[in-house]
Amino acid sequence: MNLLSLSISHHTAPVELREALHLSNEEIKTFIEGVKGKLFSEGLVISTCNRTEIYGLPANESINHSAIQNFVLTMKPAPAAKSENFNHFLSYDAAKQLFKVITGIDSLLIGDNQIYHQVKDSIHLAEEMKFTGFLTQKLFDAAIRTGKRAISETEISEGAVTVSYAAVQLVEKIFSNLSKKTALVIGAGETAEIAAKHLREKLIGRLAITNRTLEKGQRLAESLQARIIPFENFKSQLHEFDIIISATSSEGLILTKDEIRSAMKKRNFADMVITDIAVPRDIDPKSKEIDYVFYHDIDSLNIIVEQNLAKRRDQIPRVEKIINEELKNFFDWYHSLEVAPTIKSMRDHFENIRLEEFEKNKNKFSIADQEKLEIVTKRIINKILHQPTVELKKLTEGENKHDETAAKVGIIREIFGIDNSKAEKEK
Amino acid sequence: MNPAIDFLNIFLPFTYIATFIIYFYDFMRGGKHFVNSKRLFLFLTLLTHIIYLILRTAEFNHPPITNVFEIFTVLAFSISFAYFILELLTDIRGTGPFIIIISIIFQIISTLFIEDLIEVKEILRSNLLGSHVLSALIGYAGITISAVYGLLYLILYKEIKLNKFGIIFDRLPSLEVLETMSFYSAVIGFVMLTFAIIIGIIWLPQAFPNFSFADPKLIGTLLVWILYGVGIITKFFGKWRGKKVILFSIFGFVLAILSTLLTNFLAQSFHSFY
């Protein structure tokens, strides 16, 4: 298979360059329109914050990685880009790279299953743009299947690997049902927003936001259907919350141990989880000395993150096993698309149909006629198969492209159901 | 002598140990490998145990509740059976090894010391005795499970407080679940002990001429009962919660064990039949 792949990722390029070469959905569409028919006959473009990957079957034999690379750099000029910032893959390695990407083992956050959805979306976009064909469609189906298997058959995506998610995982180790709990998020920056979103995803009962700049807090509160508490008042309401997540950019402490103790007294020492994701810290770390206060700062959350990442790394060999199985299946199918075996399979397939019908009906004829019937049916089959056989043989002559041949062969096998009847027979 | 009973008596600790090993292995490996087969193992162990108890009852013509070692085997069964039901109802499967190990201890002691008693005092064949002992046993199984979940709560509480995110943190259910399970088990234990005490107070003075309210077992059980009662009421009215109630439950369990051991092996009591 003549699949080409070009990859720029966290393995090969700094974030500035990855940002410079990032393609939005609109840009991907423009890119596909630009390469379709000229550089690639069919293909796929994936672009996330950590990588841009381009896969495709070359439109003609002169197309190579440099041609694609030059096209990318013409569309998205990046003077800092050097050839070592691009990884090139071909055929089996290109397919393997796609499978590694979709399973998340090539991601910065190993096992990040967001990439699975991003690749799926990219495939849908390629389909929408009619940039997929018989071969790539099979390849992408195999890739999606591989990604699904990696998620369901291994623990590659399990456990929190971001500080904000680790905070929520910790909360779930204390409370069994978050829908009955109340949470306060202090701050309205990116970290606070992610933490608040995670709490919403976990169906937190009541969510409140407080922030020094009221307007910014209000915006976040509105987007998450949360209550906004003016920053000056939040301390007097602290006892109402089971979960407090703080992520402000304050230079000093905003909550002291005494303030927390007083809130705990008001709530009769019901469990309170405090996660301080801010650097420098917002909440007095001595609060952990108070009974039923579960105080955790960024360092302790990082312990969870590191442990989960280590567990995910242990899962890589299991994912690689799945990748190898799926690659083998895909290439076994691909190699079945060669012309000579297909002609034989096609003839066998029709001969079997003829024989089956002959056996079923021969008793309706006299012994003498049965012989004639056999000759006639054989002649009909030969006549039907003459033209397809000639056309198939033509594919092997001249300068026919291998992938185009494979695609045509594949279509013939599919419309006549050659592989299906073979599989049924094997069963 | 019944060879089937003798065989099952020796075989039972091994089945409990095998079940414990599979639960423990699954706990250590993350609960995915034997998630259903471990439950089947426990079921088969309980089935073997119930066959053993039926055979004993039929062979010796009395339910196996006439001495402490017979009671221990029933207690081993009750604890694991209660856990089995709890696992089915809550689908929390990670706490099995901590409960099954208690059954192993009771069953091993029973296996080593149990005797084939054919002749038992007529008084021990009473139906009221059956109800009295059965409710007491379920009560004890309840408070044992409550203590185990309480202990797990304390361990997890400490691990989270100290930022230790190891295997205990990974595998155990949340603190809230552990607290709830400990509390509900204690409530069931308390209710059943209440039945046992009521039946005992009605029936014992008639059955035993030397009955005395100063009997050490009676005082011990009453103390355990009061302790659980106080714990449950304070928790119910929201006065106490978390560690305080859990510590009460564990203390109650220790007191119950001490009371049983002291009255059965040391003190002279009408409650000692062995």
Decide: helix, strand or coil at residue A209. strand
Tell which of B152, B161, B183 to mutate to test the A interface (max A CBs under 10 Å). Answer: B161
Please tell me the predicted confidence (pLDDT) of residue A344. Answer: 82
- Do B7 and B46 share a domain, yes or no? yes
- 3-state DSSP assignment of residue B185: helix
Contact across the interface for B169 and A173, Cβ inside 8 Å = yes
Domain boundary among A259, A289, A304: A304
Cis check for the bond before A280: say yes or no (omega within 30 of 0): yes
- Whether A112 and A34 have beta carbons less than 8 Å apart is answered as no
On whether both B222 and B251 belong to a single domain, the answer is yes
**B71 & B143 share domain:** no
Q: Please state, in angstroms and rounded to a whole number, the distance separating the CA atoms of residues A164 and A277.
A: 8
If you average pLDDT over every residue of chain A, what do you get? 88
Q: What is the distance in angstroms between the CA of the first residue and the CA of the last residue of chain B?
A: 20
More confident residue, B269 or A52: A52
DSSP A260: H
Q: In this predicted structure, what is the pLDDT of residue B266?
A: 64
pLDDT score, position B58: 84
Lowest mean pLDDT among A28-37, A83-92, A237-246, B26-35: B26-35
Q: Of B99, B120, B141, which residue sits at a domain end?
A: B120
For the cut 90, the answer to whether the pLDDT of residue B120 exceeds it is no
Cross-chain Cβ contact A268/B241 below 8 Å: yes
Buried b (16+ CB within 10 A) or exposed e, A4-35: bbbbbbeeebeeebbebbbbeeeebbebbeeb
Residue A99 lies in a domain: yes
CATH number, position A261: 3.40.50.720
Quote the pLDDT of residue A77: 87
Q: Are residues B158 and B180 in the same domain?
A: yes
ipTM for this model: 0.79
Are B169 and B95 part of one and the same domain?
Answer: no
Q: Going by C-beta distance under 8 Å and a sequence separation of 6 or more, which residues neighbour residue A293?
A: A260, A264, A272, A274, A287
Q: At which of A304, A327, A350 does a domain end? A: A304
The pLDDT > 70 percentage for chain B reads 91
Q: Residue B241 — pLDDT band, cuts 50, 70, 90?
A: confident
Residue B34 pLDDT class (50, 70, 90 cuts): confident
- What is the tens place of the pLDDT at every residue in B202-211? 877 777 777 7
Q: Which helix (H) or strand (E) element contains residue A6?
A: strand A4-9
pLDDT value at B105 more than 50: yes
- Which helix H or strand E contains A259, and what residues bound it? helix A257-266
Tokens of B202: 């009605």
Q: Are residues A73 and A197 in the same domain?
A: no
Which domain-ending residue is among B120, B143, B165?
Answer: B120
pLDDT tens digits, residue range A31-54? 999 998 889 989 999 998 889 999
Residue A3 pLDDT exceeds 70: yes
Residue A116 within a domain: yes
Same domain membership, residue A168 and residue A152:
no
Of B84, B100, B120, the residue at which a domain comes to its end is: B120
The pTM of the full predicted model, rounded to 2 decimals, is: 0.73
pLDDT at B274: 45
B165–A304: do the CB atoms touch at under 8 Å?
A: yes
Assess whether A263 and A180 both reside in one domain. Answer: yes
State residue A421's pLDDT score.
57
pLDDT surpassing 70 at residue B268: no
Cross-strand pairs, B263: none
pLDDT of amino acid B119:
67
Asked whether A145 and A326 are in contact (CB, 8 A), the reply is: yes
Beta carbons of A288 and B242 less than 8 Å apart: no
Looking at the structure, tell me whether residues B113 and B138 fall in a common domain. no
Residues A260 and A169 both lie in one domain: yes
- CA-nearest residue to A299 within chain B is B163
**A47 and A117, same domain (yes or no):** yes
CB spacing of B242 vs A271 below 8 angstroms: yes
d(CA A102, CA A143): 7
For residues B7 and B97, membership in a common domain is answered with yes
Report the chain B residue with the minimal C-alpha distance to residue A304.
B165
Give the 3-state DSSP-derived string for A311-353, with helices as H, strands as E and coil as C. Answer: HHHHHHHHHHHHHHHHHHHHHHHHHCCCHHHHHHHHHHHHHHH
Does A177 lie in the same domain as A112?
A: no
Indicate which of B152, B155, B157, B163 best probes the interface with A, i.e. most A CBs within 10 Å of its own CB.
B163
Same domain, A345 and A296: no
Mean pLDDT of A171-194: 90
Domain residues for the domain of A94 are: 4-157
Sheet with A243-246: strands ordered across: A227-230, A206-211, A182-186, A243-246, A272-276, A293-297
Query: Is the pLDDT confidence value at A209 over 90?
Result: yes
Contacts of A179 in chain B (CB under 8 A): none
Q: What is the CATH number of the domain that holds A145?
A: 3.30.460.30
Q: Rounded to 10 degrees, what is the CA torsion of B166, B170, B174, B179?
A: -60
Residues in CB range of A399: below 8 A, 6 or more apart: none
Whether A49 is a known active-site residue: answer yes
Catalytic residue from among A15, A49, A203, A411 = A49
Which chain B residue shows the shortest CA-CA distance from A297?
A: B163
- Closest residue of A to B170, CA-based? A173
Q: How close B104 comes to chain A (CA, Å)?
A: 29
Q: Taking the CB of residue A371, how many other CB atoms lie within 10 A of it?
A: 12
Residues B192 and B230 in one domain: yes
Chain A and chain B share a number of CB contacts under 8 A equal to 42
Of B163, B175, B243, the CB nearest to A174: B175
- Structure confidence at residue B125 (pLDDT): 67
| Type of residue found at A272 | M
Q: CA of A174, closest CA in chain B: separation in Å?
A: 5
Report yes or no on A316 lying in a domain: no
Domain count, chain B: 2
State the DSSP H helix or E strand holding residue A293, giving kind and residue range, or none if neither.
strand A293-297
Q: Which residue of B has its CA nearest to A290?
A: B161
Same domain, B52 and B140: no
Q: How many domains does chain A have?
A: 3
In whole angstroms, what is the distance from residue B34 CA to residue B41 CA?
Answer: 10
Q: B228 with B272, same domain?
A: yes
Query: Which residue, of A91, A124, A157, is where some domain finishes?
Result: A157
Are residues B126 and B259 located together in one domain of the fold? yes
Average confidence (pLDDT) over A115-130: 93
Q: What are phi and psi of B27, to 5 degrees?
A: -65, -45
- Are residue A53 and residue A84 in the same domain, yes or no? yes
Taking CA atoms, B244 is separated from A69, A398, B24, B265, in Å, by 67, 87, 29, 32
Q: Range of B100's domain?
A: 1-120
pLDDT at A294 over 50: yes
Determine the Cα–Cα distance for residues A76 and A72; give it in Å rounded to an integer: 6
Residue of A163, A176, A181, A266 to mutate, interface with B, max B Cβ within 10 Å:
A176
Domain co-membership, B24 together with B102: yes
Q: Identify the H or E element spanning A5.
A: strand A4-9
- What is the three-class DSSP state of A23? coil
- Chain A positions in Cβ-Cβ contact with residue B165 (cut-off 8 Å): 303-304, 307
Q: Are residues A19 and A141 in the same domain?
A: yes
A394 phi and psi, to 5 degrees? -60, -35
CA–CA min distance B174, chain A (Å): 4
